[in-house]
A and B are shown apart, each in its own frame.
Chain A
Amino acid sequence: MNKGGNPKGGTKKEAFMRRLTIDDLKKIKEQYEATFTLRHGSYRARVTIHMGTCGIAAGAREVMSALVEALAEAGVKDVVVTASGCAGLCSKEPMATVELAGQAPVKYCQLDAQKIKRIFSEHIQGGSIVQEYALVMGSETSY
């Protein structure tokens, strides 16, 4: 096992599926930070569906399927869809956070399949926030 090797050497998966050193940790951090912040250019938007128990109970899976369906139908490949935990406002689930590159994340609440499809076409594709379903803009302070 080549511990000192450069993780960028092989394919991503190969390089990382091995025992990490402290240096490797930093490299993963840098590499994934870019994806995370929509910085490296191949994605223009990131949609996070909040799938804690509360979200799932309120119908987050349907929202997720509807969005994935909409993306497939439109042949969109430059939008990342990820699942995440509870967003904190369980009474307003299902929630989703839509972040277009270089813009503030927008949290949508009390979603269903119809609503997420509209958000897909108006916000993700069209660039204008669907005010009726939106709750808030921005992300929380953490220090």
Chain B
Amino acid sequence: MDKFRANLMICGGTGCIASGGLKVKQALEAELLSRGLEKEIGIVITGCNGFCAEGPIMTVYPDGTFYEKLTPADVPEIVEEHLLKGRPVQRLMYKEPEKKKVLPVMSEIPFFNLQVLRALKNKGLIDPEKIEEYIARDGYQAAAKALSSMTPEQIIAEIKASGLRGRGGAGFPTGLKWELCSRVPGPLKYILCNGDEGDPGAFMDRSVMEADPHVVLEGMIIGAKAIGASKGYIYVRAEYPLAVQRLQKAIDDARAYGLLGEDILGTGFNLDIEIYQGAGAFVCGEETALMRSLEGKRGMPIPRPPFPASQGLWKKPTVLNNVETYANIPSIILNGSAWFKSLGTEKSTGTKVFALTGAINNIGLIEVPMGIPLRKVIFDIGGGMKKGRKFKAVQLGGPSGGCIPESLLDTPVTYEDIMQTGAIVGSGGMVVIDDYNCMVSVAKFFLEFTTDESCGKCPPCRIGTKVMHDKLVDITEGRGKEGDIELLADLAQDIINTSLCGLGQTAPNPVLSTIRYFRDEYESHIRDGWCKAGVCRPLVTFYVEPEACKGCGACARVCPQKAVSGEKKKPHVIDQTLCVKCRSCYEACKFGALKAGPGSLAKELIEKAKGVETR
């Protein structure tokens, strides 16, 4: 993409368009063209700025001059004076109003201004059950273009050039996947959509399907044309009833309008799409297992090759893409691959949707340009840690991913860089973990999940994950031994190397990454019988440090056992014989006076208390 020496950000919000923003944009385009400046100065349409009453408005970058109430007649003067001679046009500039607005505008709040909405461009804006509203936002224009004026080769070339990679987690280049399938001859091919989102804490695909179901259909129509498919299935888990309902309405409406079915848009192209509800098995997110499930069989993976591109669903050539991948397709076809690549990095282009959750202030669904540092996502968009806690790690990629510690927070979010840390971008679940969490327990949680969800077909996954989980249980319950860490790491490698499918091949990642960055926690569990985060009950003793205690009584009030006692404004004491280690007091203390000591400390304290009594 060309580098512009200046960018004109024209507000494309409804207010500004209503007051003539598009006419100003057209006038600018014409003026720049007539003066031969179109390669020097770029024009960008932005979302609503919030100053609709002053519209149409425009900001000139890099200098940041803010123009208001523009008309096409003002355009020549701005180009001549400001853009050529460098003198901003005073009379058109924004004047500070007398009364200051209290309500912040989106461009001032990091949660909004660091996001770029592409896959989510209709998020919260259109009524997902009204196909006309989708069409009003350029919906089905890309399908019309692809079906009427592009060959399959041209579609594939455009998607390949865009650099779009699968958003489901593995990051396989979408264009290449389509190309491989398009080259396999066959009268019947399938195009599938993977909506079997199963990572704990991930809800990107659900939100896209609920907020903008037609974009998924449109992406599938374009993909079907590219590979020559005539039948499509959307595999959605039954736990997403609203997504299923809205997708079904979308399919019905699209059929009624001839956007699905035979002779779509009068172009002679046929495609029908059906929803298939999965029963919620995690392994069915794996492509070969998903296809078996669609065939009505038990959802279990099969070895590859043959790859689905040649022998997929019912042994027919098949392409399976993730919901978010499809949501990116229409705008690539409409705006071109160069536009798509203008955001992101060389190998990770475009934007990525994340489900941001955990111990941060702003929990939600966000879309950011690839390459943004993790720190910005967590602290600026996420609004920092909840209750002023300390950041400990961020978990990316769910049960297949890993935990990234604070020292690596400047890692840019790209497929390659995140992979280097031992985590994966994955489908986009991002769980922020604070210092009240024990990392061994976090690893245990994920292993418990994969042990449950392992389909049981191959022994490394079926038995291996169970053995690893048992080891982790031992460590968290005080039965850890020297050599356990090495054993876990060794076993992890074997499971990765020998498992049949992606589930087993990635299941040990949460353990490996926590060993890599939080080895000291494993060691203190095993050697000192001490869970320093105060999570593993057998390995912790809560006690009050008298010097730090202000005697506020917050701990005593929350204790369900009435184990905490003490006079007001005097140091409190925990009766270790009553304490059940629920850690309510630990979380309630605002002065850091409550400490988590090693598990053996309780015994010592009890002995000590007895000693005092008998004396």
Q: Which residues of A contact B (CB under 8 A)?
A: 3, 16-22, 25, 28-29, 31-33, 35-39, 48, 50, 52-54, 56, 82-92, 95, 97, 99, 101-106, 129, 131, 134, 136-143
B333 CB, nearest partner CB in chain A, Å: 14
B106 at the interface (CB under 8 A from A): yes
* B14 proximal to A (CB < 8 A): yes
> Which residue in chain B gives the minimum CB-CB distance to A106?
B103
**Contact, CB under 8 Å: A141 / B102:** no
A29 contacts B135, C-beta separation under 8 Å: yes
Most buried by A among B15, B46, B121, B257: B15
Asked whether B40 is an interface residue with its Cβ less than 8 Å from the other chain, the reply is no
Cβ–Cβ < 8 Å partners of A50 in chain B: 124
Which of A56, A92, A106, A140 meets B117, CB within 8 Å?
A140
Chain A residues with CB below 8 A from B113, complex form: 141
C-alpha spacing A18/B112, complex, angstroms: 40
- Interface of chain B, helix or strand or loop or mixed? loop
Residues of B within 8 A of A (CB): 13-15, 17-19, 44-53, 101-107, 109, 111-113, 115-118, 120-130, 132-133, 135-141, 144, 148, 203, 206-207, 210-212, 240, 242-243, 256-259, 263, 265-266, 339, 361-366
Contact of B265 among A22, A32, A95, A102 (CB under 8 A): A22
Contact across chains for A136 and B366 when beta carbons are under 8 A apart: no
CB distance from B431 to the nearest CB of A (A): 14
Q: Decide if A143 touches B118 in the complex (CB within 8 Å).
A: yes
* Pairs across A and B, CB under 8 Å, 20 listed: A31-B132, A32-B135, A35-B136, A36-B133, A36-B136, A37-B18, A52-B210, A53-B240, A86-B207, A88-B115, A88-B124, A89-B364, A90-B363, A90-B365, A91-B364, A92-B362, A102-B15, A105-B13, A138-B112, A143-B45
CA distance A137 to B113 in the complex (A): 12
Q: Bound complex: CA of A28 vs CA of B129, how far in Å?
A: 16
A-chain residues with CB within 8 Å of residue B133 when the two chains form the complex: 32, 36
**Chain B residue at minimal CB-CB distance from A4:** B266
Q: List the B side residues contacting A142 at CB < 8 Å.
A: 47, 116-118, 121
Query: Known contacts A85-B207, A138-B106: does B124 contact A143 (CB below 8 Å)?
Result: no
* Least CB separation from A85: chain B residue: B211
Inter-chain contact A28/B136, CB cutoff 8 Å: yes
Q: How long is the Cα–Cα vector from A29 to B142 in the complex, in angstroms?
A: 13
CA distance A104 to B52 in the complex (A): 5
B4 nearest CB across to chain A (Å): 14
Residues from chain A with a CB closer than 8 A to the CB of B203 are: 53-54, 90
B144 and A139: CB pair below 8 A?
no
Report how many A-B pairs have Cβ atoms within 8 Å.
201
B103 to A139, Cβ gap below 8 A? no
State the CA gap A91–B15 with chains docked (Å): 28
A38 near B18 (CB under 8 angstroms)?
Answer: yes
Q: Please state if B363 and A91 are interface contacts (CB–CB under 8 Å).
A: yes
Q: Which of B46, B53, B130, B148 contacts A141 (CB 8 A)?
A: B46
* A92→B125 CA distance, assembly (Å): 17
Say how far A34's CB is from chain B's closest CB, in angstroms: 9
Q: Are A83 and B242 in contact (CB under 8 A)?
A: no
In the complex, what distance in Å separates the CA atom of A115 from the CA atom of B48? 25
Residue of A nearest to B254 (CB): A20
Going nearest first, the 9 A-B pairs with the smallest beta carbon separation are A85-B211, A19-B258, A138-B50, A91-B363, A32-B136, A139-B48, A87-B124, A138-B106, A37-B14
Is A138 within 8 A of B47, CB to CB? yes
Task: Using known A-B contacts A21-B265, A22-B266, determine if residue A99 contacts B14 with beta carbons closer than 8 Å.
Answer: yes
* A56 and B120 alpha carbons, distance in the complex (Å): 19
Give the docked Cα–Cα distance between A142 and B339 (Å): 12
20 further A-B pairs in the complex, CB-CB below 8 A; given A32-B133, A53-B210, A84-B211 = A25-B140, A48-B127, A50-B124, A52-B207, A56-B242, A82-B127, A83-B129, A86-B365, A88-B123, A88-B364, A90-B363, A104-B49, A104-B53, A129-B103, A136-B105, A137-B103, A139-B14, A139-B48, A142-B118, A143-B45
